[in-house]
């Protein structure tokens, strides 16, 4: 416990999702104190920049499994990852950091994911060439910026629940992810849930809760 932070070590027992540390906005001293307080317990860190990583004491930085694409890091040993029940579908290469954040969050919890990238609907054949592989999963996470058309298209093609993750990828009226968010919220495709812009972590946590209700695929 500290005046600056209080780690919720009981969260996994209560909710099935472990504590995670959102690193953006935290000082080096705060991050150092949080990591040292963990001892041998596992922690998932999100939005950890390479600059923030480099500023940490060397002994702590060496203990982190850092992924520069998603800006996530894991403190503690890796766990065995189960066969993928989640398919993460990214519209474009620029959406991969958010998709990878979802993938890393799932892996931290022992759930594998099949990540398919660059299948936006501007070239619909790319998505259709992967659709049978996507349909084999219990939950689909769709990650898209620009106009966010991928969300409705996927939700109309699969029987699994689809979690839409709007990203801030885009320019003009799409800048900041508002157009993609509006597209997801306004979709008429049934079975579509939406999380906040760039929230790959939140999408993965929702998928984890859905998976507890789904039979494990053979």
pLDDT at 58: 93
Closest to 52 measured CA to CA, from 75, 68, 76: 68
Q: Express each pLDDT in 22-71 by its tens digit.
A: 999 999 999 999 999 888 889 999 999 999 999 999 999 999 999 999 99
Q: Report pLDDT digits (tens) over 178-209.
A: 999 999 999 999 989 999 999 999 999 999 99
Model's pTM, two decimal places? 0.90
Tokens of 147: 């106009």
Q: Which residue has the tokens 């996927």?
A: 154
**How many residues are listed for the chain in this entry?**
218
Q: What is the band of 213 on the pLDDT scale with cuts at 50, 70, 90?
A: confident
* DSSP assignment of 34-59: HHHHHTTS-EEEES--HHHHHHS-HH
90 close to 115: Cβ distance less than 8 angstroms: yes
How high is the pLDDT of residue 126?
Answer: 93
Long-range contacts of 193-198 (CB under 8 A, 24+ apart): 193/161, 193/162, 193/163, 193/164, 194/151, 194/163, 194/164, 194/166, 195/163, 195/164, 195/165, 196/166, 197/166, 197/167, 197/168, 198/98, 198/165, 198/166, 198/167, 198/168
Q: Mean pLDDT check: name the lowest of 11-25, 97-111, 118-132.
A: 11-25
The pLDDT of residue 1: 45
pLDDT band per the 50, 70, 90 thresholds, residue 14? confident
What per-residue confidence (pLDDT) applies to 116? 96
pLDDT category of residue 12 using cuts at 50, 70 and 90:
confident
- DSSP assignment of 144-172: E-TT-HHHHHHHTT-SS-EEEEE-S---G
Residue range 116-174, pLDDT digits in tens = 999 988 889 999 999 999 999 999 999 999 999 999 999 999 999 999 999 999 999 99
Residue 142 CB-density burial (10 A; 0-12 exposed, 13-18 middle, 19+ buried): buried
Given a cut of 80, whether residue 214 has pLDDT beyond it is: no
> pLDDT band at 86, cuts 50/70/90?
very high
**What's the pLDDT at 3?**
63
Residue 162: its pLDDT value, please? 97
25: Cα separation from own chain's centroid: 19
Distance between CA atoms of 89 and 112, rounded to whole angstroms?
A: 14
Residue 217: pLDDT above 60?
no
Could you give phi then psi for residue 44, rounded to 5 degrees? Answer: -105, 130
pLDDT at site 15: 77
């Amino acid at each position: 416990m500290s005046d600056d932070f209080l780690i919720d070590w009981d969260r996994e027992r209560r909710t099935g999702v472990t504590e995670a540390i959102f690193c953006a906005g935290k000082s080096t001293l705060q991050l150092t104190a949080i990591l040292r307080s963990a001892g041998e317990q596992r922690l998932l860190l999100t939005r950890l920049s390479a600059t923030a990583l480099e500023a940490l004491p060397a002994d702590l930085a060496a203990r982190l499994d850092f992924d520069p694409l998603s800006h996530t890091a894991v403190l503690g040993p890796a766990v065995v990852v189960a066969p993928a029940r989640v398919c993460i579908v990214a519209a474009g290469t620029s959406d991969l950091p958010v998709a990878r954040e979802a993938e890393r969050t799932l892996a931290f919890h022992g759930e594998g994911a099949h990540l398919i990238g660059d299948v936006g609907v501007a070239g619909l054949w790319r998505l259709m060439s992967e659709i049978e592989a996507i349909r084999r999963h219990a939950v689909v996470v769709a990650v898209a910026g620009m106009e966010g058309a991928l969300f409705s298209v996927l939700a109309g093609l699969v029987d699994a629940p689809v979690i839409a993750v709007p990203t801030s990828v885009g320019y003009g009226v799409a800048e900041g992810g508002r157009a993609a968010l509006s597209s997801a919220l306004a979709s008429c495709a049934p079975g579509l849930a939406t999380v906040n812009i760039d929230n790959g972590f939140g999408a993965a946590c929702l998928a984890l809760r859905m998976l507890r209700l789904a039979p494990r695929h053979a």
